[in-house]
Amino acid sequence: MGTRMRCKRWGWALLFVLGGAFGAASAQVAGDAPVVVEGIVPDQATKAQILDKLRTLYGAERVVDKVRVEAIPAPPNWGTYVGNMLTPGLQRVRGGKLEVDGQSVRISGDVPNEAQRQQVLSELSMASNTSYTVTSGLRTAGSAQDVLDQTLGDRIIEFRSGSATLTPLGAGILDEMAAKLQELGDARVQVVGHTDDVGQRESNLALSHARAEAVRAHLARRGIDPQRISVLGRGPDEPIADNATEDGRARNRRIQFRLL
């Protein structure tokens, strides 16, 4: 996402460019993309305040400082309001800009879904007072559920027979899912375990739950906050194929990811 702050009336301007793109087609990993801030601010304190907020959000190594300080007039408490706008919600936006022109604010770019679009706008509105006007150019860049579904594809996250121990292939797929979950910011997801119908239902329910827990633990080891992940074991109750065939049973022994 990029952020531009301009002011024709007051004479100052800022531009924050937050690199990266949402979705599987991204050529860059969003977590590594630079955050470029450039333009004019009225004093050194304002510059320091804005840079500190950005470095806290994105890491000092990602923030590129191109800000100039000039002794020009600015709206009352402008630096404070702009600093308040730099919330973690901006990390949900990819390929965009945040522009402040006087007391007019415009944000553009891509977000995973409508709920996150509304949340970003709400945070911006709450960060300023009523004299600031927020205009949205945010687009939903395909649903986050689609991203998870496309990442998993037709693959099955495999476990050792009768256990909740991941195979190397299953762990590799989860590593890809962890990378996508990182791109989705603080989106919450439910991991659902499923089994075939061989054996007792109660045992299969327990196994499916244990496998979902194993998935959550693996994702946590890959940097995903476990508080973002809930687990559910459905056992044999939601088959997607015929349990009468070996291929069907293999397809039913699966992990499902549901965006909450």
> What six digits make up the tokens of 79?
């630096």
pLDDT band for position 219 (cuts 50, 70, 90): very high
**Tokens describing residue 88:** 């973690």
144-259: CATH class: alpha beta
pLDDT in tens, 151-187: 998 899 999 999 999 999 999 999 999 999 988 877 8
pTM higher than 0.95: no
Provide the 10 A C-beta neighbour count for residue 140.
Answer: 15
* Residue in 168, 212, 194 with CA at minimum distance from that of residue 253: 194
Equal fold, 2-140 vs 144-259: no
Structure tokens at 95: 């390929």
Q: Where are the domains of the chain?
A: 2-140, 144-259
Query: How many helices, marked H, and strands, marked E, lie in the chain?
Result: 7, 10
> Three-state DSSP class for 60?
helix
Q: Are the CB atoms for 90 and 98 separated by under 8 Å?
A: yes
pLDDT, tens digit, 9 for 90 and up, residues 42-64? 889 888 998 999 898 888 888 88
CATH fold of 2-140, please? Answer: hypothetical protein tt1634 (3.40.1520)
Q: Decide if 111 contacts 92 (C-beta within 8 A).
A: yes
